[in-house]
Amino acid sequence: MSEWEEASPSVIHIAEQLIEKYHPWLRDARIGFVFRDEAQQSLGRLILAQAQKVTAKLQVYLEFDFLIWVSKEDWEGKLTDAQREALIDHELCHCVKRLDTDTWAIRPHDVQEFWQIIERHGLWSSDLHNGREAMERAIQAELPLGQVKRAGKVASVSLKNIGDWGSLHDDLLEEARRFAEEEGEITVTKLQRKFKIAYSRASSLLNLIQTVASEPGE
């Protein structure tokens, strides 16, 4: 299991600067940052950070709209200043407010494709063409900020709440959610067999899946 601790002031400072420059709609959002001891591995890929919406039920423990974890090992020992900024900017791009429901939500990536498909078929979709144009420009247009009073906050999650977060988080949650959607009906035993985990962890994971699934707009 992963270990968690408060994010450093450098994370908060970069996030605040990026929100003012590129993400003014997040001024009203409550965004919590936490350090994870190391990056997460998923299907052969390293995940250096991850943003997720804090559901209404979990807000009993965490008074945030979004929680973003960052790999401490990579943040402190591997990333350059430019890479740090890009990493936080990327995660903030996932955090949006839905105009139809006026609720916070997680936005998926604009472009998703396999490198092999690009090599074999080129930029075959409009998304890939748009992505190429964005990369060629390599400059993001600054958004007008106006005179909007900020009501949200960007903060490191306190040590007390990190304990609550650790008990409410599992690295397998996203994979387990997809598995539950495929199966239709999920049980502790199925989770044990699928992920080769102990009964106690499978039971906790099932509770997390049911908590997230019960939230509207997920």
Distance (Å, whole) CA 129 – CA 127: 5
DSSP, res 71: E
pLDDT digits (tens, 9 = 90+) for 165-184: 555 566 677 788 778 878 87
* 8 Å CB contact between 38 and 73: yes
* 8 Å CB contact between 66 and 58: no
Tell me the Cα Rg of the chain.
Answer: 19
- Higher pLDDT pick, 59 / 139: 59
- Please name the fold of domain 1-125: Zincin-like (3.30.2010)
Is the per-residue pLDDT at 16 higher than 50? yes
pLDDT score for 145: 39
pLDDT score for 42: 74
Residue intervals of the chain classified under CATH 3.30.2010 are: 1-125
What is the average pLDDT value for the chain, to the nearest integer? Answer: 79
- Domain 170-218 indexed as CATH 1.20.120: no
Percentage of residues of the chain with pLDDT beyond 70: 78
- Distances in whole angstroms, Cα of residue 83 to Cα of each of 15, 110, 146, 196: 13, 20, 28, 35
- pLDDT level of residue 164 (50, 70, 90 thresholds): low
Residue intervals of the chain classified under CATH 1.10.10 are: 170-218
Q: At residue 199, what are phi and psi to the nearest 5 degrees?
A: -60, -45
Between 29-43, 92-106, 127-141, 194-208, the lowest mean confidence (pLDDT) is in 127-141
Give alpha helix (H) positions in 33-104. 72-77, 81-93
pTM, to two decimals? 0.67
- Distances in whole angstroms, Cα of residue 186 to Cα of each of 122, 190, 207: 40, 6, 11
pLDDT score for 62: 78
Sign of the alpha-carbon torsion through 6, 10, 12, 18: negative
pLDDT score for 217: 37
